[in-house]
Amino acid sequence: MSTTEERRRTRLPEWRRRLKVARWRGIRQIHHNEVVEHVHEEGALSGRYIFMNVMSCGIAILGLLLSSPAVIIGAMLISPLMGPIMLMGFSLAILELAALRQAVVSLAVGTLVSLATAFLIVFFSPLTEITTEILSRARPNFFDLMVAVFSGLAGGYAVIHRKGETIVGVAIATALMPPLAVTGFGLATAQFQIAGGAFFLFMTNLLAIALMVTVLSRFYGFGERHSPRHTAWQNALIVGVFVALSIPLGLSLRDIAYEARVRDVARDMLLTPFDSSEARVTDFDVTFPRSGPARINVRATVLTPVRVPDAELGLAAQLSERFRRKVNVVVDQLLIDDDVSSETARLAAVAESSFGAPMRAQTAQLEAIAAERRTERELRLAFPYELAGADINPQTRRAVFSAAPTAGVSLPAYKRLEEGLARNFPDWMIRVDPPRSEIPPIEFAPDSAALGEIRTQLAADLAWGLQRWGVTRVEVVAVLPTPSAAQGFNEASLGHRRAEALATELEKAGLETGIVGEYRASGSTPADRAAAVQRTNQIFIRPAG
């Protein structure tokens, strides 16, 4: 063997040799048998463990319902889940299957008890609204994973060195108990998407913590000292757990990366419709559908010196084209005064007045802006259906809502909504533009031409909707039973009298009308003939021309 080759063989392992020496120095300081006995004792199923799970989850779910981080952190001081997780991590490291079964049983019992506690509290509680604390735990993200990883490393280190176990247990419980409580909340309120997302976060954090404990305990030599037949298949078991954990996390992180990209692009494009360089974004939020082709919802507040009426529709079209998905955009435009002369005049008035007067004026102005902004948000929240666009102008106190097509919502419903908004906001001029849809026929009683109160109201509602669509003239169509009936379609015929009664109500509402009689052939089946008979009792409305 050459001298060069011998040097290379002696030089390469040098850093490994130093690392191994440092590692074995640390291993010799650990009392391995005492640590293993302690972990077995703490991970055992006991009445104290069950009681602490009930207390911890009960406090956690109350903190979540009250959206109080302080109460949630207080629940974590009990830290009941640390013992079984430590036992699971050490049992994987030393491959002690009996201890692994014990840890799994303890965790399963603790999980079920905690879920039952959260479920019962939410089920009998008057507070069932989704708070920000609950939403933040409805799905895992990268930061939740990092909390679990660092908590597992800290927990393993504390148990191995027998220092600070109680304090580290708080971090571990923080990663586990709140998601478990949110799972119980989702089950109690039948919101299974929230329950599933929170339970996925719970399992992800649990596996991540146990896995970090396994890695750290193996680093400190527990696998080598307590499992003499520590072979390759044991390493394969640990790698398999890593793989099982990485699959759901990979899918979750892919969604998180996509959502982060959407947020960045949406924020960058938000000011595209606004020409002025003084426009700026204050509030910004993007919500994503859980599944399916539902819309991505973008909501923002823009300070701008010039109002852009079609900003929302333009942004929605651009973002939908960019992401190849439907995007719904809601932009609250707050006008700011950029007139230099008016600003100069304001400063001059401040200089000539006392110190308190301008402060009071500025405070009043800020309060007025805040009140306008609250009213805008209240108007948005008061509209219960999906929006295609909205233009809310606090200066003119005028709000125009363009409704998006919503299944099951009729023209009368949109008219009632406009009337309700006008009553709730009497100082505003409110207009609701319903989406275009098929005009329903008005059905008369057999052998009767009387409209009655209900049909009269329906005619007024339909006229309102037609006018919102820009229709000014309509044809009122009576369906004739036979082709020969067209010859007798005159003022004396039943169909003509029905059409005339309906036309009179539409004209009162401001529409021009024309009366038409048509024969529509029916099929040969009994169902077709029955439908044809029903159509003769109906009067149809269609835009003229």
For residue 70, the model assigns a pLDDT of 79
**DSSP label at residue 270:** T
Phi-psi region of 470 (alpha: psi -120 to 50; beta: other; left: phi over 0): left
Q: Cα-flanking dihedrals φ and ψ of residue 433, to 5°?
A: -100, 110
| Nearest residue to 440 (alpha-carbon basis) of 413, 418, 402 | 413
Structure tokens at 42: 């703490």
Q: Which amino acid is at 518?
A: E
Q: Which helix (H) or strand (E) covers residue 493, if one does?
A: none
Instruction: Spell out the residues 6+ positions from residue 536 whose beta carbon is closer than 8 angstroms to its own.
Output: 479, 480, 481, 495
Give pTM, 2 decimals.
Answer: 0.50
| Nearest residue to 43 (alpha-carbon basis) of 106, 95, 135, 121 | 106
Asked if 86 and 155 touch (Cβ cutoff 8 Å), the reply is: yes
Asked if 217 and 223 touch (Cβ cutoff 8 Å), the reply is: yes
Q: Please list, residue by residue across 41-57, b when 16 or more beta carbons sit within 10 angstroms of its beta carbon and e when fewer do.
A: ebbbbeeebbebbbebb
Q: Cα-flanking dihedrals φ and ψ of residue 3, to 5°?
A: -65, -40
For residue 355, the model assigns a pLDDT of 43
Give the Cβ contact number of residue 212 at 10 Å.
22
Environment class of residue 73 by beta-carbon count within 10 Å: exposed (0-12), middle (13-18) or buried (19+)?
A: middle
Q: State whether residue 537 is helix, strand or coil.
A: coil
Farthest-apart Cα atoms in the chain, separation: 122
For residue 347, the model assigns a pLDDT of 45
In angstroms, rounded to a whole number, what is the distance separating the alpha carbons of residues 260 and 73? 28
Give the Cβ contact number of residue 468 at 10 Å.
20
In angstroms, rounded to a whole number, what is the distance separating the alpha carbons of residues 313 and 294? 17
pLDDT along the chain (545 residues), means of 10: 50 60 59 74 85 89 85 74 83 79 90 93 85 77 74 78 60 73 91 86 82 79 56 62 65 72 81 72 72 71 77 82 82 63 45 45 50 67 78 82 83 85 84 88 86 87 89 88 71 85 89 84 66 79 83
Asked if 539 and 478 touch (Cβ cutoff 8 Å), the reply is: yes
| Nearest residue to 388 (alpha-carbon basis) of 406, 370, 374 | 406
What SS3 string covers 372-426? HHHHHHHHHHHCCCCEEEEEEECCCCEEEEEECCCCCCCHHHHHHHHHHHHHHCC
Asked if 82 and 42 touch (Cβ cutoff 8 Å), the reply is: yes
Asked if 285 and 251 touch (Cβ cutoff 8 Å), the reply is: no
- DSSP assignment of 143-196 equals HHHHHHHHHHHHHHHHHHHT-SHHHHHHHHHHHHHHHHHHHHHHHHTT-HHHHH
Instruction: Spell out the residues 6+ positions from residue 346 whose beta carbon is closer than 8 angstroms to its own.
Output: none
Instruction: Spell out the residues 6+ positions from residue 144 whose beta carbon is closer than 8 angstroms to its own.
Output: 137, 175, 201, 204, 205
Asked if 90 and 112 touch (Cβ cutoff 8 Å), the reply is: no
Structure tokens at 403: 């409704």
Structure tokens at 507: 């004209």
In angstroms, rounded to a whole number, what is the distance separating the alpha carbons of residues 218 and 237? 13
Instruction: Spell out the residues 6+ positions from residue 531 whose beta carbon is closer than 8 angstroms to its own.
Output: 522
Reported as half-sphere exposure (CB side, CA atoms, 13 A), residue 338 has a value of: 11
Structure tokens at 433: 């533009």
- DSSP assignment of 191-235 equals -HHHHHHHHHHHHHHHHHHHHHHHHHHHHTTHHHHH-TT--HHHH
* Sheet with 398-403: strands ordered across: 387-393, 398-403, 429-433
Q: State whether residue 63 is helix, strand or coil.
A: helix
Integer-rounded Cα Rg, in Å, for the chain is 35
What SS3 string covers 86-104? HHHHHHHHHCCHHHHHHHH
In angstroms, rounded to a whole number, what is the distance separating the alpha carbons of residues 347 and 337? 14
Q: Name beta bridge partners: 429.
A: 398
Reported as half-sphere exposure (CB side, CA atoms, 13 A), residue 456 has a value of: 9
Pairing of strands 327-335, 387-393: unpaired
